[in-house]
Structure 1
C-alpha cells in the first residue's frame, strides 16, 4: 500500500536536517507510493509517507494521519482487512470517523485501545509507526508473519526507520557498509532476508514485532508467536470428519478471499498452474466479476502458462501471459537485486518483477497470490521427508531396534528433527556448517519439536513441526521478495492464505489432514477439486523453473569482482568458483547475484550499467 519513514530524536529537538532526511527517505521509496506523499513533525519525531491509494482514494485518507485531538499520529503500510468490523466496534464505543479508510480505523483503534490490545486484533498485513503524544512514546509494529517490512537503524542520538534499507541509507551521514557475515550466511542458503539486512547498523523488525520507543529506551517484544498460541490438545483431540474439515476450510478460504478483494481500485490475480493461486483466482471471481489473471511465460524452459490457462478458462477469467526471454531477464536482473537489497538467488525473482510491471502497465494496483499454503498445509517434499526420518520409531520398525538404542538416537535427533535441520548430516546439504552460524532458526526447530510432544507418532510430530518452522524460514524469504518486487512496480501483493483464522486453523490440523496417501496438502486439494480442474490438482508439484541458458556466461563477472574482495578469496580460488558457477545454475544465480548487489551498493554502478555488463558477458561466452 505505501512506504513509511521517520526520525526519532532521543534528546535534542527535530531540526532541519531531520526533516531533510525524511524527504530523502520518501524519495527513495517513491516506487512504494507514487500517488501522494506528505510529512509531519513535532519536537522529537518526524514522519513521512508515500501513498499507493487503494482503499478510500480521497485526500482525507492521506497520511501521516492524526486523531481529532491531535494526540495520536500514524503512518502505516499495508491493509487491515477486518477494518469494517473494527470500525463498528469502535463506533459502538463512541469513536467517530471522518473517512472510509482502513487507516483511520487502525489509528483510532491504537489510540482508543492502546497498541497492546489493538494490534493483535488486526487481521491483515502491516508495518506501523504510531506516536502517542499522551505517553510521549513511538510504537513500531509488524504483522504476525512479517508480510510487510520495516527497517530500523540507531544512529547516535537518532533512531531512523523506513520500509526499506535504501531509505535509511539515503539519510545524511549514514554509511553504506556491507556486512561480510551476512554475505556468508546468504551464500550458505540462509533464510535471512526478511529479518536481517546486508548493511551494517540496519536492523529489520522480526514478524509480530511490537517495539516501544520512549525516554526509557527501546523495548522490544513480539505480540504473537506460534510457540505461544499452539494448542497441542486441539491437534491430539481432533475428531472432526474429513467432510467437516473440508467445509470449514472452504468457508475460511472463501471468506478470506472476499476480504482480500476489498479495494477501491482494480485487482488481478497471479495464477500459476498450481493449486493455491488457482483456487484464489477462481474464488476471487465471485467477488470481482471483472477479475483477470497473469502468468509468467518464459520463452525457454518450463512454462506454467498452459496449466494456468486451464484454470483460468475453467473459472472464466482472462489470462495474460507475460513473456520473459533471455534479454528481458538480463535487463531486469540488476533492478531486481536493487529492490530486493540482497542477491536475488532464484530466477523466479526476476520473473515476478516482470509480472508486476506488466500488471501496473495494464492499470492494476493489487495482485492476489497463493503464497503461504504450502507452509501451512504441508505442500513441500522436505516436510514429507521429515516424517520419514522418524520411521525407526514407528511400527513395526521399532521391533527390530533396542529400546536403549532408540532412546539414545532420539536425544540426538530431537535437536535436528526435520529434513532441513543443520545437525542432520546429508550429502545434499552442502552448507551445513555455515548454516550453523545462524542459530536463531536452527534452535527454533528443537523448540517446536518439543512443543509438539503430545503428538504421536514421532513422524507426525516432525511433519507438523517442519510446517511450523517453515513459517519462520522458507515463508519469510517468499514474503520478503514478493513484497519488494511487487512494490518495485507500485503493485500491492495480497496473500489470502495468511489470514488470521486460516493460520489458526492450519497450525492445529493433524498430520492426516495435511499429508495422506503420499500426497501433501491433502485437505486443501480436496477443497480445490471442487473449484479448479482436477488435472491441475493432481499434477506433480514443480517449483518455478527458468532455463539455465538465461544466465550462462554471466559467471565471468566474478573475475576481479567485488565479491572476491569482500570474501577475501585468494586469486587461485576465483577460477574454481567461476567454474562452479558455470556448471551449476543455482550457484551461478547466488554468486553472480551477490556480485551484482555489491557492484550496486559498494561500487556505485547503476542497474542499467550492470544490465549492459551482463549482456556483454553472455555475448562473449557464445
Structure 2
C-alpha cells in the first residue's frame, strides 16, 4: 500500500525538487521509503508502506532494459500465478513483488489484456519510454483513488489531490459547481472534484497520455443478469466466493487484522479470517457502543478484540484533520469513527480487512425496499414485486398519492421505478432547500436528476428496480463516499485497508443473484446473511444494521459545540457561499430541538471546515490529544 504521484511537463527542466515536495504531501501513505523516476518528459514519485516483498519491493521498478517504469498503489491477489506465466514467457524478474508482475504483464499482454487477468485493488502508473506514453489504471470498483489535472503542457496524476498543491503550475481554485450537489449527496458527486479542473479517473477505467492527448477508456463494469440457481445453490456460491476472497486477501508479509462492528459484513469477514487482532470503536456519550457487540462476537469466536472510546472533544478537535485527509468535504458521520478505528488498529497491525461493498453487491440498504419489520407488509410487497411492470408502476403512483400509513413507503419502493425516487443512499438537502441557502454563484450546477441519470441510462434495459439502484450506488455512493473515506482515513494512519467483498470473482456471483434472494419477506441481503450464518453464532447475521452510530445530535445540542459551530457560520467569508441568516436559523432550531436538522447542519459545517483547511488556513492540521480522556 503506497502513495503515487506523477507529472508530465517537457518545459520543466528541474523536476526533482517539485516531485519531492509533492511526495512529502502523501508521506502518510508510505512512511517506509520513497523512490523516483525522472526524465525530460515525466516525473514519477512513490511513497511506500511495506506489505509484500519487504526487502525487494521498492519502487519505481523498471523492466529488463530500463525502457518501462511503474509505480503502484494497492495489492494484486493473484499475482503469483501470473508471475509463473510471465517467467515461462521469458521475462526476467528482480523482485518477488506484485508490482513487477504488473510491469511485465503490461509488456506481455498490453494494458487491456493485463487488466482482464488481475484480481485486486489498484491504482498504477506506467511510463513507456519506447512509446513516449504515460498510462495508468484504477481498479474495478474504485477502491484505490486516482486523480488527474491537465492545463496546457502540464498533466498531474496521483493518489491524493493535496500533492498537486505543491506543483508550481497547479492553479488552486474552488469548483463552484460542486457545492450544490454536495448538499444533497453529502459527498463530492460530480466527476470534477471540488478543485477546479481536477477529475477522478473513474472506477474500472484506464487512461493514456501521449503528446498531451488524454484518452480515458472503460475496461470493466457490473452487469446484473439473474441466474437460475436455487436458493441453496446461491448461498453455496456466495459463501465459496467470499471465503476464497478472504483467503486471497490474507496475502501479506506483515500481520493482518480486521475491523469488527455489530453488523453482518465485518462479522462474516472476521469469522472467515480468524485474525489474532480485531478492533472496534464507540463514543463517550452514545447509548450504543459498537465495541460491546464486537467484543461479544470476538469472545464467542475466541479472538482478541481491542476497542476504544472516542470523546466528543477529540472527535471535534480533529475534524479539520479528518477533512484534510479526505481531500474533499464528506459529511458522512462515519468518517470520524473510521479515522479513530484505523488509528487504534495501527498500534498492532499494518493491514486490516473490512466489510465495505457488501451492501451494494448484495442489496443491504433499507432504501432498496426494506422499510418495515411487519411480516404481513413484507409478504404483500414480495407479491407486488412479481407483477408486470406497468401494473406495478400504476400501484406505485396510487400509493404516492395516498395519506401515509404503516408500510406505505415499503410498498411504494417495492413497486415504483427506481428513477422516480432513488438518487442513492445519502439524501440531505433537496434542491429547493439548497437553493434557499446558497448564493446565486453556487446554484449553477448539474441537477441531482442529471447526475443520477448518467448511471440509469446504462441500465435502462433492466426490468429489476433493485438492480438499477445497486448499479447507481456502485458508481456514485460507493466510490465517491464509502471507498474514498475507507482509503483516505486508513492511509491517514499509514494502514492498508482491504475489502474482500469487492473482489471481481465475488462480483461475478453477485451479478447473478436474483433479487428475490436478496430483498424478501425475511430481510435485506438475505442470501448473504444465510451464507454468513454458517460461520457465525446462531442468528448473529440477522442483527439489525446500525452502521457507525455517531452522536451528532447530542453534540449539536451541547452548548460549547453549538457555539463553536455558530461562530464558524457567522464568519464574514461564509457569506460568499450561504445566506447566513438561513443557515443560522437551521442551526439554532436544531440546538433548541425545535427541529431535527442535524444532517443539514453537519453537512454545511463539514464544507466550511474543509474550505477553511484548504483555502484559508496556512497550516496543515495536526492531531490534537484529549488530555482529559480517561484511558482504560
- Taking structure 1 as the reference length, the TM-score comes to 0.86
User: 1:400/1:389 Cα in 2 relative to 1: closer, same or farther (>3 Å)?
Assistant: closer
Where 1:74 maps in the other structure, the secondary structure is: strand
Contact 1:34 1:52 in 2 (8 A): yes
Structure 2 counterpart of 1:549 = 554
Matching of residue 257 in structure 1 with residue 267 in structure 2: no
Structure 2 counterpart of 1:201 = 197
Where does 1:34-49 land on structure 2 (aligned, <5 Å)? 34-49=31-46
Shift of 1:309: 1.6
Structure 1 counterpart of 2:571 = 561
1:417 to 416, 419, 422: 419
Contact 1:441 1:473 in 2 (8 A): no
Quick one: distance in 2 between partners of 1:400 and 1:373?
28
Structure 1 counterpart of 2:301 = 315
Quick one: distance in 1 between partners of 2:168 and 2:526?
53
Where does 1:115-264 land on structure 2 (aligned, <5 Å)? 115-189=111-185, 191-192=187-188, 195-215=191-211, 217-226=213-222, 230=223, 232=225, 235=226, 238-264=227-253
Structure 1 counterpart of 2:478 = 475
Where does 1:429-578 land on structure 2 (aligned, <5 Å)? 430-431=430-431, 437-438=447-448, 441-453=451-463, 461-476=464-479, 477-547=481-551, 548-551=553-556, 552=558, 553=562, 554-561=564-571, 564-567=574-577, 569-578=578-587
User: 1:495/1:510 Cα in 2 relative to 1: closer, same or farther (>3 Å)?
Assistant: same
User: 1:566/1:263 Cα in 2 relative to 1: closer, same or farther (>3 Å)?
Assistant: farther
Stretch deviating more after TM superposition (569-578 or 202-211): 569-578
What is the root-mean-square deviation in Å for CA atoms of aligned residues?
A: 3.2
Where 2:84 maps in the other structure, the secondary structure is: helix
Structure 2 counterpart of 1:102 = 98
Quick one: distance in 2 between partners of 1:46 and 1:478?
31
Shift of 1:187: 1.5
List alignment gaps of at least 5 residues for structure 2: 372-377, 402-411, 435-444, 628-632
Contact 1:414 1:446 in 2 (8 A): no
Q: Once the two structures are superposed, what CA deviation does each residue of 1:532-584 show, in whole Å capped at 9, x if it has no partner?
A: 123431222223212222354142133333762331x3454343243256452
User: 1:97/1:564 Cα in 2 relative to 1: closer, same or farther (>3 Å)?
Assistant: same
Where 2:279 maps in the other structure, the secondary structure is: strand
Where 1:496 maps in the other structure, the secondary structure is: coil
User: 1:15/1:605 Cα in 2 relative to 1: closer, same or farther (>3 Å)?
Assistant: closer
Q: Once the two structures are superposed, what CA deviation does each residue of 1:566-619 show, in whole Å capped at 9, x if it has no partner?
A: 31x34543432432564522122211111111111111154659979x99xxxx
Contact 1:382 1:419 in 2 (8 A): no
Quick one: distance in 2 between partners of 1:222 and 1:364?
35
Contact 1:193 1:480 in 2 (8 A): no
List alignment gaps of at least 5 residues for structure 1: 454-460, 616-622
Matching of residue 72 in structure 1 with residue 98 in structure 2: no
Q: Once the two structures are superposed, what CA deviation does each residue of 1:381-416 show, in whole Å capped at 9, x if it has no partner?
A: 11116999998785599889989x99xx99xx9875
Quick one: distance in 2 between partners of 1:199 and 1:513?
42
Quick one: distance in 1 between partners of 2:241 and 2:590?
45
Shift of 1:316: 1.3
Structure 1 counterpart of 2:324 = 338
User: 1:429/1:335 Cα in 2 relative to 1: closer, same or farther (>3 Å)?
Assistant: closer
Quick one: distance in 2 between partners of 1:292 and 1:610?
25
Quick one: distance in 1 between partners of 2:392 and 2:510?
35
Q: Once the two structures are superposed, what CA deviation does each residue of 1:512-551 show, in whole Å capped at 9, x if it has no partner?
A: 2212224111111111111112343122222321222235
Structure 2 counterpart of 1:591 = 604
Where 2:134 maps in the other structure, the secondary structure is: strand
Structure 2 counterpart of 1:363 = 348
Q: Once the two structures are superposed, what CA deviation does each residue of 1:165-207 show, in whole Å capped at 9, x if it has no partner?
A: 1000121242322122212221222553695421112111111
Matching of residue 85 in structure 1 with residue 59 in structure 2: no
Quick one: distance in 1 between partners of 2:506 and 2:364?
16
1:284 to 255, 266, 273: 273
2:366 to 381, 399, 407: 381
Quick one: distance in 2 between partners of 1:448 and 1:89?
36
User: 1:73/1:560 Cα in 2 relative to 1: closer, same or farther (>3 Å)?
Assistant: same
Contact 1:334 1:611 in 2 (8 A): no
Structure 2 counterpart of 1:600 = 613
Shift of 1:441: 4.0
Stretch deviating more after TM superposition (427-436 or 368-377): 427-436
Structure 2 counterpart of 1:618 = none
User: 1:337/1:194 Cα in 2 relative to 1: closer, same or farther (>3 Å)?
Assistant: farther
Quick one: distance in 2 between partners of 1:437 and 1:103?
41
Q: Once the two structures are superposed, what CA deviation does each residue of 1:441-479 show, in whole Å capped at 9, x if it has no partner?
A: 4114532542324xxxxxxx1112212221112212100
Contact 1:176 1:199 in 2 (8 A): yes
Quick one: distance in 1 between partners of 2:243 and 2:158?
34
Contact 2:245 2:503 in 1 (8 A): yes
